[in-house]
Amino acid sequence: MTEVQTAAESTARCWSRKIADTILGECNAQGDHEFVLQRWAYVPGMLLMAMARAGLLHEEPCYLSYMQRHMDTFIGEDGSICSYTLEEYNLDQINQGKNLFQLVREIGEERYAKAAHLLAVQLVGHPRTSEGGFWHKKVYPYQMWLDGLYMASPFLAEYARVFERPDLMDEAAHQLLLIERKTRDPRTGLLYHGWDESREQEWADSVTGLSSHFWSRAMGWYAMAVVDCLEHFPVDHPKRGTIIGIFQRLCQALARVQDQKSGLWYQVLDQGGRKGNYLEASGSCMFVYAMAKGLRLRYLEPSFEEIMLKGYEGILTHLAQEDERGVHLHGICHGAGLSKDRNGSYDYYVSEAVVSDAPMGVAPFLLASLEVERYGDERK
């Protein structure tokens, strides 16, 4: 192990604790009543999952209880989920359900399993494209977005493992492979943000149905989805090797567009240096997380270590900051999507607000720090 590697992994350990403590500090400062996450949604779900993982790695009960306390505000005794409606058929609403599996393991109350079953029922009956791809939402007919793969597929894969449903493991594999085949650009190897099978949307190419650009966070969602799904696949699953192969191919494409000076990735991945483009935090954190986990679980070749560590160092050097209030993360795209007024153009992606300390970036930052640390620990 080189001195650079040792320093990066030690730094990750320091930062993962500091990020988690900052999140707890914000909660304590505002009070549970004010800070409780008010809606069952994908961003709070990712933040809770990151805190729970920090609790497991650092053996800190306060991090774990943070997740349980907030989840318990939504889960009824009968397994119902407050503010969730199955008939909305929205993949975003699945993501927070990933926290249920740890509650099933650690607490064992039947209501957590019932809530997981409810979300699985949504996915079994979810509206689909002609080849079985999940629509991103009922209100987005025949559209697949990269975002949705992270929201639903890792939940589906873990549900399949925990509740012994191999058919749903096959479903998770199908979703990952289908969208990669539909959205991959053969020239760059990057994936377009969305695909409209009907070719009716204003943002969709009239021939291919694809959106126009490679949005950093969209590819981050997909990269995280792949490594999080693979963790649950049995080693003899017939699609496991193919999915590992497309993950390595994806990371090769990301390596080609990594900014060599900073180690970060741009908001529009293949347009580095173009006016208005910027080095974006959430996507960069997601790529580091996916690569670090891929290296730890040997889905990636060791040559990706340098790319991953350079990316993590870039986050700490250029985007992270500390003061008396804790850790801050800058350069986070507040949000982006595809619709009539979100046309997927270059100008659209670089016009969305850029913010600091939003959970959309802080959660992947914590996840990335934890994975860099685990990678180092398990290599010793």
pLDDT at 4: 47
Give me the pLDDT at residue 140, please: 98
Residue 54: CB atoms within 10 Å: 27
288 to each of 10, 24, 62, 194, 375, how far by Cα in Å?
16, 24, 26, 22, 11
Report the relative pairing of strands 326-329 and 320-323 from DSSP bridges.
Answer: antiparallel
Domain spans in the chain, listed from the N-terminal domain onward: 3-376
Full DSSP string of 104-147: HHHT--HHHHHHHHHHHHHHHT--B-TTSPBPSBTTBTTEEEHH
- Per cent of the chain over pLDDT 70 is 93
CB atoms within 10 A of CB 18: 16
Examine the pLDDT at 37 and tell me if it is beyond 70: no
Q: Which candidate, 8, 9, 15, 11, places its Cα nearest to that of 326? A: 15
pLDDT tens-digit series, residues 231-250: 999 999 999 999 999 999 99
Active-site entry in 21, 78, 147, 357: 147
Q: What angle do CA 102, 250, 160 make, to 5 degrees?
A: 30
Catalytic status, residue 21 = no
Written as one string, the DSSP assignment of 288-324 is HHHHHHHHHTTSS-TTHHHHHHHHHHHHHHHTEEEET
Which one of 1.50.10.10, 2.30.30.40, 3.40.50.720, 1.10.1740.10 gives the CATH number of domain 3-376? 1.50.10.10
pTM for the complete prediction?
Answer: 0.95
CB 159 within 8 A of CB 120: yes
Bridge partners of 134, per DSSP, are: 128
Burial of 206 (0-12, 13-18, 19+ CB in 10 A): exposed
Q: Does the pLDDT of residue 31 top 70, yes or no?
A: no
Has residue 35 got a pLDDT over 70? no
Write out pLDDT tens, residues 194-222: 999 999 999 999 999 999 999 999 999 99
**Of the candidate ranges 3-17, 76-90, 229-243, the one whose mean pLDDT is the lowest:** 3-17
Average pLDDT (82-92) is 97
- Who contacts 144 (Cβ-Cβ below 8 Å, separation ≥6)? 129, 133, 134, 135, 136, 178, 179, 182, 183, 194, 195, 197
pLDDT of residue 380: 67
Confidence band, pLDDT 50/70/90 cuts, at residue 33:
very low
